[in-house]
Structure formats: structure tokens, C-alpha cells
């Protein structure tokens, strides 16, 4: 009898191949589990870090601390309940800007593409409409307007 038959050799080779494949697969699974554990640990650390940041944010945004900072650094006082306007009649009227008395007129001047002679320029000047300058506001009106603005928009 033959000690080793071909079928026995093939069976042993298949078993060795299957064992090697199983070993490689188990190693890959172990590496992926280690990576997953590291990611979960990093995620837990980030969640803890976010909790610390939220606690710091809440601590820094305390109303009494903010009021103290505003009064110390910005020179602002705390608004009391009596300082708020409750009646509409106490609200000042908004400053209304008067529109100009008439709309300004703008006219386009004709342009020639070719060379022009002196006669063409004279004809263009004759045909061009004349515009009158807008009236200049008096200095007194300007000073009155400034006075109104300084007084807070009170009517005179």
C-alpha cells in the first residue's frame, strides 16, 4: 500500500490553505476591531470636550458677568424698567427730507463720429437745450436744519 495517496496530499494541502486563509481573515478582523475601538474612544473624548466647552460658554455668558463687563469697558449703564418708552406720543417724529422742488434736467449732447468743422460745432451748440442751474439753498436753511438735528428733531 502506498503510504501517501494523491487524495490525502490534496486534502492536507486544502486544510493548510484553509487554515492560512482563516488566520489572515482573523488578523484583518482583529485590526478592524482595534481601529473601531480607537475611533469610539476618540468620539467619547470629543463628546467630553464639547461638554466642557458648553459649560465654559454658559459660565462666560452669565448675565451678571456680562453686565459688569459692559459697564466697565463700554461705559454703558443698565437700562431700568422706567427708562423704556411706553407711550407712542413720546416717540420723536422722524426727520423727513423734503424732495427737490423740481426734477433736475439732464440732456445728452449729440456726438459726431467723423471729423467736425467749426460750423458743425456751432450747429450743435445752437441745437443743444440750455439748462438752468438748480437754486442753491441758503446758508440759514442749512443752519436751521443742523439746529433741528442737534435738538433731536423738534419742530420750530
Look at residue 146 in the predicted model and tell me its pLDDT.
72
Look at residue 113 in the predicted model and tell me its pLDDT.
61
Q: Is the pTM of this model over 0.85?
A: no
Looking up cell 433736475, which residue turns up? 104
- Please state the φ and ψ torsions of residue 114, each to the nearest 5 degrees: -90, -175
Sequence-distant (6+) residues with CB within 8 A of 43 are none
- Would you state the cell numbers that stand for residue 132, as one nine-digit string? 438752468
- Would you state the cell numbers that stand for residue 54, as one nine-digit string? 458648553
Render pLDDT for 113-148 as a digit per residue (tens, 0 to 9). 655 555 555 554 555 555 554 445 455 566 677 777
How many C-beta atoms surround the C-beta of residue 67 within 10 A? Answer: 13
The answer to whether the beta carbons of residues 71 and 78 sit under 8 Å apart is yes
Rounded CA-CA distance 39/33 in Å is: 10
Q: Which residues does the chain have with pLDDT short of 70?
A: 1-4, 100, 103-143, 152-156
Among the listed residues 112, 106, 98, the one whose alpha carbon sits nearest the alpha carbon of residue 131: 106
Look at residue 149 in the predicted model and tell me its pLDDT.
77
- Would you state the cell numbers that stand for residue 55, as one nine-digit string? 459649560
Amino acid at each position: 500500500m502506498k503510504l501517501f495517496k494523491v487524495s490525502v496530499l490534496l486534502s492536507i494541502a486544502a486544510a493548510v490553505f484553509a487554515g492560512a486563509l482563516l488566520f489572515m481573515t482573523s488578523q484583518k478582523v482583529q485590526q478592524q476591531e482595534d481601529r473601531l475601538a480607537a475611533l469610539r474612544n476618540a468620539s467619547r473624548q470629543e463628546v467630553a470636550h464639547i461638554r466642557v466647552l458648553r459649560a465654559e460658554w454658559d459660565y462666560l455668558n452669565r448675565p451678571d458677568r456680562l453686565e459688569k463687563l459692559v459697564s466697565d469697558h463700554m461705559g454703558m449703564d443698565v437700562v431700568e424698567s422706567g427708562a423704556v418708552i411706553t407711550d407712542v406720543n413720546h416717540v420723536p417724529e422722524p426727520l423727513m427730507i423734503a424732495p427737490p422742488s423740481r426734477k433736475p434736467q439732464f440732456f445728452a449732447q449729440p456726438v459726431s463720429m467723423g471729423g467736425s468743422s467749426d460750423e458743425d460745432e456751432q450747429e450743435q451748440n445752437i441745437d443743444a437745450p440750455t439748462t438752468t442751474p438748480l437754486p442753491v439753498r441758503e446758508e440759514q436753511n442749512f443752519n436751521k436744519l443742523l439746529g433741528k438735528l442737534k435738538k433731536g428733531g423738534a419742530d420750530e
